[in-house]
Amino acid sequence: MFIKQISVFIENKPGRLAEVTKYLADAGINILAISMADTTDFGILRLIVEDPGKTDVTLKAHSLAVKTTDVIAVAMENRPGSLAGILAELSNHEIGIEYMYAFTTRNTDHDSMVILRLNNQEDAVKKLENSQKIRMLTSEMVGQIRG
Amino acid sequence: MDNNFWNPSVERMSRDELHAVQTRRLKETVERVYSNVPYYRDKMQRKGILPGDIKTLEDLESLPFTTKQDLRETYPFDMFAAPMESIIRIHASSGTTGKQTVTGYTRRDIDMWAECMARCLTMAGATRASKIQVGYGYGLFTGGLGAHYGAELIGAAVIPASAGNTMRQITMMKDFGTNFLCCTPSYALYLGEALGEAGFTKDDLQIVGGIFGAEPWSENMRKEIEDILGLRAYDIYGLSEVMGPAVSQECCRQDKLHVWEDFFIPEIIDPVTCEVLPGKTQGELVFTTIYKEGFPLIRYRTRDISSLCYDECGCGRTHARMTKPDGRSDDMLIIRGVNVFPSQVESVLLEEGNVSPHYRIIVDRKNNLDAMTVEIEMSENIFSDHVKGIEATESNIRKKIESVLGISCGVRLVEPKTIARSEGKAKRVIDNRKI
């Protein structure tokens, strides 16, 4: 049960992130979640957007290096201990995390979620499918348009 | 006139005598390459020239030029004019596309090189009583061993420090009482600054002279080096194809570099038309070696821009002087004394396959040391969603470029289409060094 994430290669220079998000704004693309992995020289901008297909086309039209990757979204309650509980469950299954970021939503079904990229993700997801403690969300539930 | 002559009878030889020596040796060299190097023979035959046609120095102009491309086509040993039994040393420098330029020396060649270096060191004031610290790299690079053999020939005490290990260099300069230093000018400046940082000054040193070369440098840099190390700095010139360091050097006047004309005939040509230019006109420097056995070169195009002056020099030497090389007629860069061609970087990228061929080379001088960074455009093929993946790609490309160039560099991936495309020749190099 994967959702689509858009990753973009961005050079680490002032104003660049503003420009890239402006491309999305001009194309009417709504960002659901965003995270940035950065080094001295470059960063990887990771986005969960309503329309991943359109985002990919838009950014590529601006000559950016773009990659669509699968990640999982796990529903969380907005209260102390909920993230710790999810991570403990991953740990019980000996699943490693490559990276993660979390955000709150206004969804009636769940009020927060965490985006995870896992080691050996295919196998990891199979293990988690039967878990009582982890509820993975579909792209529709996250708010993505089916691509 | 000063007394700093290693070989006064040759260094002060009259122009007529010098011409007689040159004529005899030129004929011998042409004879040698025609008989021993099929590549030269073919080239001469195509121009319809036989060795017997070369009778005077003026006939030199009828001989074909030799270029770096020729050396690449004859890689590694096809330009050698002596059998391998007579070769006692092989050196190599970077070529234009990753293949090295290989040169071979017979015992007489090594002796001749030491003679040239001995003249240069003596000209700078070194004697058998001097302690000479050689801070050029020892190895395939001609700098270290070239300076070393000359210093030994004059009977000085050689300190074969080689390049790098700055603190140890300073300790030796101080504790051993080094009198002469041979290294690249940028490294000399770096040593000077490191000296200060270590809490010492030039007064803690006994250095009187420095022989600096293997890269271009300016009068300002000379003043800085002289001030910081308390020595007189001399520019030495050479290239491994022709021999190595000591093809020419400045005398006590520090005004242009004396070319040892009994071994090398210099010419200046128009790099476009290849026409020989009259005295003092600036153009591309061309050398014919007239005493080398292992790897003689006929009219080798150095790509260095210079001019020649045959006026009498106040030092008493009769040998022609060349001006400090002022730029290149090709795109070669000299980085920390090592020749770098953008095409070498390009060949690595093309070999990599899925890396974008759009790149540029940025050269800076940080703390007086050259730093080279290769910027390469990120492409879909190599873009990874992971920082570690991108860093691994950078490091992989960096190692490959370093192994081809023989110097360390940085590699930075940049966004696609951010490196300017141009109609004709792409602007591949941004040299921010203020020399």
To test the contact with chain B by mutation, choose from A4, A9, A16, A40 the residue with the greatest count of B C-beta atoms within 10 A, namely: A9
- Per-residue pLDDT at B406: 84
Does this model's pTM top 0.80? no
Query: Per the domain annotation, does A147 fall within a domain?
Result: no
Distance CA B292, CA B116 (A): 12
Q: Cβ separation of B385 and A41 shorter than 8 Å?
A: no
CB pairs under 8 A between A and B: 47
Which chain B residue has its CA at the smallest distance from A99's CA?
A: B386
As a whole number of Å, the CA-based R_g of chain B is 22
| Amino acid (one-letter) located at B220 | N
Question: What pLDDT digit, counting tens, does each position of B148-161 carry?
Answer: 999 999 999 999 99
- Per-residue pLDDT at B426: 59
- Same domain assignment for residues A83 and A64: no
- Same domain assignment for residues A18 and A63: yes
Q: Cβ separation of A44 and B385 shorter than 8 Å?
A: yes
User: Which CATH entry fits the domain spanning B8-330: 3.10.150.10, 3.40.50.1980, 3.40.50.920, 3.40.50.12780?
Assistant: 3.40.50.12780
Q: What is the DSSP string of chain A?
A: --EEEEEEEEE--TTHHHHHHHHHHHTTPPEEEEEEEE-SSEEEEEEEES-HHHHHHHHHHTT--EEEEEEEEEEE-SSTTHHHHHHHHHHHTT--EEEEEEEE---SS-SEEEEEEETTHHHHHHHHHT-SS--EEPHHHHTPPP-
* Residues of chain A with C-beta less than 8 angstroms from the C-beta of B421: none
Distance CA B306, CA B272 (A): 15
Read off the pLDDT band of A145 (50, 70, 90).
confident
Q: Cβ separation of B415 and A9 shorter than 8 Å?
A: yes
- Same domain assignment for residues A78 and A60: no
- Per-residue pLDDT at B434: 73
Please check the confidence at residue A21 and state whether its pLDDT lies above 90.
yes
* Residues of chain B with C-beta less than 8 angstroms from the C-beta of A37: 387
Read off the pLDDT band of B435 (50, 70, 90).
low
Are the beta carbons of A50 and A32 closer than 8 angstroms?
yes
- Same domain assignment for residues A132 and A75: yes
Structural domain count, chain A: 2
**Among A70, A89, A117, where does a domain finish?**
A70
- Same domain assignment for residues A78 and A66: no
Query: Per the domain annotation, does A78 fall within a domain?
Result: yes
Read off the pLDDT band of B331 (50, 70, 90).
confident
- Mean pLDDT for chain B overall: 93
- Same domain assignment for residues A98 and A127: yes
- Same domain assignment for residues A21 and A7: yes
- In chain B, which segments carry CATH 3.40.50.12780? 8-330
* Residues of chain B with C-beta less than 8 angstroms from the C-beta of A42: 390, 412-414
Query: Per the domain annotation, does A145 fall within a domain?
Result: no
Which chain B residue has its CA at the smallest distance from A68's CA?
A: B385
Question: What pLDDT digit, counting tens, does each position of B315-325 carry?
Answer: 999 999 999 98
- In chain B, which segments carry CATH 3.30.300.30? 334-431
In angstroms, the separation between the Cα of residue B413 and the nearest Cα of chain A is: 8
Please check the confidence at residue A147 and state whether its pLDDT lies above 60.
no
Which chain B residue has its CA at the smallest distance from A37's CA?
A: B387
Read off the pLDDT band of B356 (50, 70, 90).
confident
Percent of chain B with pLDDT over 70: 97
Structure token digits, residue B54: 């070369």
Q: Cβ separation of A65 and B415 shorter than 8 Å?
A: yes
Q: Cβ separation of A9 and B390 shorter than 8 Å?
A: yes
Which chain B residue has its CA at the smallest distance from A46's CA?
A: B385
Query: Per the domain annotation, does A32 fall within a domain?
Result: yes
* Residues of chain A with C-beta less than 8 angstroms from the C-beta of B383: 7, 9, 65-67
* Residues of chain A with C-beta less than 8 angstroms from the C-beta of B412: 41-42
Question: What pLDDT digit, counting tens, does each position of B11-31 carry?
Answer: 999 999 999 999 999 999 999
- Per-residue pLDDT at B350: 81
Q: Comparing B295 with B406, which gets the higher pLDDT?
A: B295
To test the contact with chain B by mutation, choose from A5, A41, A69 the residue with the greatest count of B C-beta atoms within 10 A, namely: A41
User: CATH number of the domain that A110 lies in?
Assistant: 3.30.70.260
- Per-residue pLDDT at B369: 86
- Per-residue pLDDT at A51: 95
- Same domain assignment for residues A97 and A125: yes
* Residues of chain B with C-beta less than 8 angstroms from the C-beta of A9: 378, 383, 390, 413, 415
- Same domain assignment for residues A62 and A80: no
- Mean pLDDT for chain A overall: 92
Query: Per the domain annotation, does A21 fall within a domain?
Result: yes
**Among A13, A40, A70, where does a domain finish?**
A70
Which chain A residue has its CA at the smallest distance from B410's CA?
A: A41
- Per-residue pLDDT at B1: 47
Are the beta carbons of B398 and B329 closer than 8 angstroms?
no
Nearest to residue A142, comparing CAs of A88, A85, A71, A78?
A71
Binding-face residues of A in 46-65 toward B, CB within 8 A: 46, 63-65
- Per-residue pLDDT at B153: 98
- Same domain assignment for residues A60 and A77: no
Structure token digits, residue B72: 């690449």
Read off the pLDDT band of B367 (50, 70, 90).
confident
Read off the pLDDT band of B332 (50, 70, 90).
confident
* pLDDT-wise least confident of B129-133, B236-240, B363-367: B363-367
Percent of chain B with pLDDT over 90: 77
- Same domain assignment for residues A66 and A82: no
In angstroms, the separation between the Cα of residue A106 and the nearest Cα of chain B is: 28
Q: Cβ separation of B387 and A63 shorter than 8 Å?
A: no
Q: Cβ separation of B413 and A42 shorter than 8 Å?
A: yes
Read off the pLDDT band of A146 (50, 70, 90).
low
User: CATH number of the domain that A45 lies in?
Assistant: 3.30.2130.10
Neighbours of A130 (CB within 10 A): 7
Question: What pLDDT digit, counting tens, does each position of B382-426 carry?
Answer: 898 999 999 999 999 999 999 888 889 999 999 998 887 755 455
Mean pLDDT of the region B228-248: 97
**Among A50, A70, A90, where does a domain finish?**
A70
In angstroms, the separation between the Cα of residue A66 and the nearest Cα of chain B is: 7
- Per-residue pLDDT at A2: 93
* Residues of chain A with C-beta less than 8 angstroms from the C-beta of B417: 63
Q: Which residues of B touch A (CB under 8 A)?
A: 378-380, 383-387, 390-391, 412-418
* Residues of chain A with C-beta less than 8 angstroms from the C-beta of B416: 63-65
- Same domain assignment for residues A13 and A45: yes
- Per-residue pLDDT at A143: 83
- What class has domain B334-431? alpha beta
- Per-residue pLDDT at A93: 94
Q: Domain range holding A31?
A: 3-70
